[in-house]
């Protein structure tokens, strides 16, 4: 009898999760269709997406290619990026630009190396006559303590400093291509971060969760300060959180072996797919609804309120000044 009850409960729970996932999928498809309907054609526009070979970046690259953009995939692993590009072309059915189609281009970019960032930007500035959208998407999540090539704590170095230098070096091209857009992918976990100027490199203490949250708070402070500095230039800057998404971002998160089946089931039922999670990035990159909107924070394609610490202009300016020195823009 007890076994029958347990079996019935398990079956009922499974059916509930299936129904919930179906409803989420239906809503996500409707939201994606709505966002797509409100998006303008990206024909003739060039978009750079960091970390575009998997997860949110791959989904955004596919959709923007579908909208006929020239998409530059900035990726650390060139072989994986080329493989992802071939898959995306097969999915989308890439047509030559001469026939009105988009274009997918792979470029090597390692945000854990300032040398790689500079080389990537140098090539872009040499080869690209315009840049309409920059999506700062790549990130590393709750990794063990390690350092970038330049000696920075990995999460702060990749998530904030690498993108800070990348954006700074491409600003001239973005301004010359105005109206243009910068999209910064942050996270709701910024709420648990603090900017400790006494230990930005986490050499006194390191907590992988706190350091991830700090890097995501830095993303928002950077986006807001950059928006302030770019007022009147025709370049807009907005940040976003994608929600909880099923990607490989959590590869450093250890889940007990016995708990993995349950975790996989729950993530399948309740987490967003990469395409669902990428909708706000796509919206901010392409929708006429946000033309001229700058310095804001979005989730699910809607503007959201920020905590006071993410709107602290003094902290944002100090972080900017220190970041310029850390990446070598100022001595």
Spatial separation of the C-alpha atoms in residues 66 and 35, rounded to whole Å? 13
Q: Which of 212, 252, 283, 297 is catalytic?
A: 212
Clarify whether 212 is annotated catalytic. Answer: yes
Catalytically active residues are 212
């Amino acid at each position: 009898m007890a076994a029958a009850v347990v079996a019935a409960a398990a079956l009922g729970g499974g059916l509930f999760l299936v129904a919930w996932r179906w409803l989420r999928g239906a809503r996500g498809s409707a939201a994606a269709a709505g966002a797509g309907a409100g998006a303008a054609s990206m024909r003739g526009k060039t978009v750079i997406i960091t970390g575009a070979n998997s997860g949110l970046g791959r989904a955004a690259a596919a959709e923007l290619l579908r909208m006929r953009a020239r998409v530059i995939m900035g990726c650390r692993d060139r072989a994986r990026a080329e493989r992802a590009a071939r898959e995306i072309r097969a999915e989308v059915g890439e047509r030559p630009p001469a026939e009105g189609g988009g274009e997918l281009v792979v470029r090597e970019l390692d945000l854990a190396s300032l040398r790689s960032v500079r080389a990537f930007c140098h090539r872009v500035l040499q080869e690209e006559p315009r840049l309409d959208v920059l999506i700062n998407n790549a990130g590393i999540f709750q990794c063990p303590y390690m350092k970038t090539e330049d000696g920075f704590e990995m999460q702060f170095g990749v998530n904030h400093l690498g993108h800070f230098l990348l954006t700074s070096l491409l600003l001239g091209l973005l301004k010359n291509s105005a109206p243009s857009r910068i999209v910064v992918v942050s996270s709701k976990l910024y709420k648990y971060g603090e900017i400790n100027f006494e230990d930005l490199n986490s050499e006194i203490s390191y907590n992988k969760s706190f350091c991830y949250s700090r890097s995501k708070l830095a993303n928002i402070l950077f986006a807001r300060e950059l928006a302030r500095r770019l007022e009147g230039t025709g370049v807009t800057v907005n940040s976003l959180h994608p929600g909880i998404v099923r990607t490989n971002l959590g590869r450093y998160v250890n889940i007990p072996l016995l708990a993995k089946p349950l975790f996989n089931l729950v993530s399948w039922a309740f987490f967003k797919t990469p395409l669902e999670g990428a909708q706000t990035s796509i919206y901010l990159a392409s929708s006429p609804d946000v033309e001229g909107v700058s310095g804001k924070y979005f989730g699910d394609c809607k503007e959201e309120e920020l905590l006071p610490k993410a709107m602290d202009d003094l902290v944002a300016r100090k972080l900017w000044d220190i970041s310029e020195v850390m990446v070598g823009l100022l001595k």
